[in-house]
Amino acid sequence: MRVHLRRSLKDDAGNAKLLARVTLDGNRRLLARVPIDTDANGEPILVRQAADGRRAMRLKGDAQENQLTKLLADDPHVGPFLAIPGKDNGFDIEGLAVIGSHLLLGLRGPVLRGWTLLLELCVQPSGDWLRLVPLDDDGTLVRKRFLQLGGLGVRDLHVAGDDLFILAGPTMVLDGDIRLIRWPGALGALKDNRAAVRFQETFDAPVELPHARGGDRAEAFCEAPEVLQRGKRSWLVLHDAPSEHRLIGEHVVLRDLLRLE
């Protein structure tokens, strides 16, 4: 949620009321799946139900709450931030990685004393909904991994082999450092250490990504098409609010291409 303030100095009282007004953006805490099918031309499309029976589903709940937020409401680390707007260090899911039947959710917020949260959980279809299922025989529904990313929140996640790549940037809407961070051996570490809470502060040296004042904020990254890779695995970095030097005509936006070494 963003609050647009009135510019007149006479509206100070009204602006103060606007800052105190908090509304919930349900999409900031939505967890869902949407099948990808192909159209008559063989192009990928999002569908409500695929030809092979896969259906679009979301975690049981509504726009106000779902099974996950209900579970986290009493969590000492996350619970206090559920009522805070996502871009003000409130609860905000931005990264998602799938590891078998497990999901890793990277939080843009909250960042707690410089530590960023990664949530591990498992969901399965049940009737018309997705539902949380235990991660182990102890009935654990969510594991928390605190990551030392230098005070930055998670913008995106991607798994490559046994490694986890993390796109990290400021929690709030501001100009600041944006980094691509590699956690080597992350999947093995997560599998071997099944504690409910764990801290991780050892990563490879981050790659500092370019950003500009008021723009070029890296928001997501994905594996580049083969035509761009030229024999080396590469990431394509996508930006929120690209600056003017990235815009060519009406339909072309320049992106950054990163080679994996």
Segment 234-251, tens digit of pLDDT: 888 888 888 887 888 888
Cβ-Cβ contacts under 8 Å for 76 (sequence gap 6 or more): none
Share of the chain above pLDDT 70, in %: 93
Query: DSSP code of 232?
Result: S
Q: How confident is the model at residue 96 (pLDDT cuts 50, 70, 90)?
A: very high
pLDDT at 218: 82
Q: Check residue 150 and give its pLDDT.
A: 93
pLDDT digits (tens, 9 = 90+) for 114-140: 999 999 999 999 999 999 999 998 999
pLDDT digit string, tens, across residues 194-232: 889 999 999 999 988 877 787 778 888 888 888 777 778
Identify the weakest region by mean pLDDT among 21-25, 67-71, 175-179.
Answer: 21-25
Instruction: Parse the chain into domains and list their residue ranges.
Output: 24-208, 212-261
Closest residue by Cα to residue 157 from 173, 181, 125: 181
* Residue 121 CB-density burial (10 A; 0-12 exposed, 13-18 middle, 19+ buried): buried
For residue 201, the Cα-to-chain-centroid distance in whole angstroms is 19
**Rounded Cα gap, residues 24 and 69, in angstroms:** 12
CB 51 within 8 Å of CB 38: no
In the block, residue with structure tokens 């990290």 = 168
- Report whether pLDDT(260) > 50: yes
Mark out the alpha helices in 122-172 (DSSP H runs): none
- Top pLDDT among 143 and 18 is at 143
Q: What is the mean pLDDT of the chain?
A: 87
55 vs 18: which has the higher pLDDT: 55
Q: What is the pLDDT of residue 26?
A: 66
Q: Are 89 and 61 in contact (CB under 8 A)?
A: no
- C-alpha 80/C-alpha 133 separation (Å) is 24
Residue 22's φ and ψ, nearest 5 degrees, are: -115, 120
- Pick from 18-32, 56-70, 90-104, 219-233: least confident: 18-32
**What mean pLDDT is predicted for residues 58-67?**
88
Scan for tokens 């100070």, then name that residue.
12
For the cut 90, the answer to whether the pLDDT of residue 74 exceeds it is: yes
Total-model pTM: 0.86
Here the contacts of 65-73 (C-beta below 8 Å, separation 24 or greater) are: 66/29, 66/30, 66/31, 67/131, 67/132, 68/29, 68/31, 68/121, 68/132, 68/142, 69/29, 71/132, 71/141, 71/142, 72/142
Residue 18 dihedral angles phi and psi, to the nearest 5° = -65, -40
Asked if the model's pLDDT at residue 28 lies above 60, the reply is yes
218 burial (CB, 10 Å; 0-12 / 13-18 / 19+) is buried
Percent of the chain residues past pLDDT 90, beyond the cut: 51
Structure tokens that stand for 51 in this block: 């030809």
